[in-house]
Amino acid sequence: MRRWMALSFAALVLASTALAQDAQLRRLESGADAAGWEAVGRLNIGGTGFCTGALIAPNLVLTAGHCLFDKTTGERIDHTRVEFLAGWRNGRASAYRNVRRAVVHPDYTYAGHVSSKGVRNDLALLELDHPIRDGKIIPFETAAQPRRGAEVGVVSYGTGRSEAPSLQELCRVLAQQDGLLVTSCSVEFGSSGAPIFVIDEGRAQIVSVVSAKAEVDGEAVSLGTSLGTPLARLQAELVAQRDDISPRILGGMRRETGAKFVKP
């Protein structure tokens, strides 16, 4: 608890200087605006809601683990009822795919509330029924967790902007700790699973996935799940599932904090 409170304080101190410099969300309405971001798509979740996801391989979509759980019952959603709409914009997608397999981080437990441990493991990997091989839809590379103060961006769908993605080109890493990233990026319901990027030599690389939005002493922040080891575990779980070995589900612990959280 002390570690998390220290992280919250760091986020608040940085927020006072960084938030004012952030770029506003820009809706990617036209094909020209959306060029290069077609591998970000909307995930329709069994007709009950949606999240955001991004291709990291022709047949793999990265998103948040809690997107695969029913908010009412807490039960795991049948992944075959999830559809990935690559580049969804104004009623059309660049590609439509169903999900063949899905794995959630084995240390993630859906509990209906948000904790630092939950965010740290809030990651899922979806295998599509058919790879997306389109010259305009290029999967993103992933990169290591950025340092505190680094400039990042996010592309997401959300409540009130579900029909086209929005880009925030400039937000900042306010704090990082134990695989959890606190950023000044603007997120809303539906933004869960949205990729957080750094730009390296003109290439967008995913460094985190949006897990939750938070409020720390009145300041709005977003919480992201770092990649690295967690993503490697997901990839191993997916291989095991292909071999008909069910992924392990381990219990989680609730950790109380002084901040207010909600899954977007």
**Position of tokens 């509330």?**
113
Residue of 240, 153, 184, 198 lying closest to 16 (CA atoms) = 184
Model confidence at 249: pLDDT above 60: no
Highest mean pLDDT among 26-30, 211-215, 240-244: 26-30
The better pLDDT of the pair 253, 162 is held by: 162
Distances 36 to 39, 155, 200, 206 between C-alpha atoms, Å = 8, 11, 14, 14
Assigned fold of 2-262: Thrombin, subunit H (2.40.10)
Tens digits of residue pLDDT in 176-196: 887 889 999 988 888 999 999
- Domains of the chain by residue range: 2-262
Cα 9–Cα 15–Cα 17 angle in degrees, nearest 5:
125
Tens digits of residue pLDDT in 59-71: 999 999 999 999 8
The pLDDT value recorded for residue 201 is 84
The pLDDT value recorded for residue 218 is 77
3-state SS string for 174-237: EEEECCEEEECCCCCCCCCCCEEEEEECCEEEEEEEEEEEEEECCEEEEEEEECCHHHHHHHHH
pLDDT-based confidence at residue 85 (cuts at 50, 70, 90): very high
The pLDDT value recorded for residue 243 is 63
Tens digits of residue pLDDT in 138-191: 999 999 889 899 999 999 998 888 999 999 988 999 998 878 899 999 888 889
Q: Give the C-alpha separation, 128 to 98, whole Å.
A: 6
> Mean pLDDT throughout 42-65?
94
pLDDT-based confidence at residue 263 (cuts at 50, 70, 90): low
Task: Sort strands 95-104 and 124-128 into parallel, antiparallel or unpaired.
Answer: antiparallel
Helix (H, G, I), strand (E, B) or coil at 67: helix
The pLDDT value recorded for residue 262 is 47
The residue count for the chain: 264
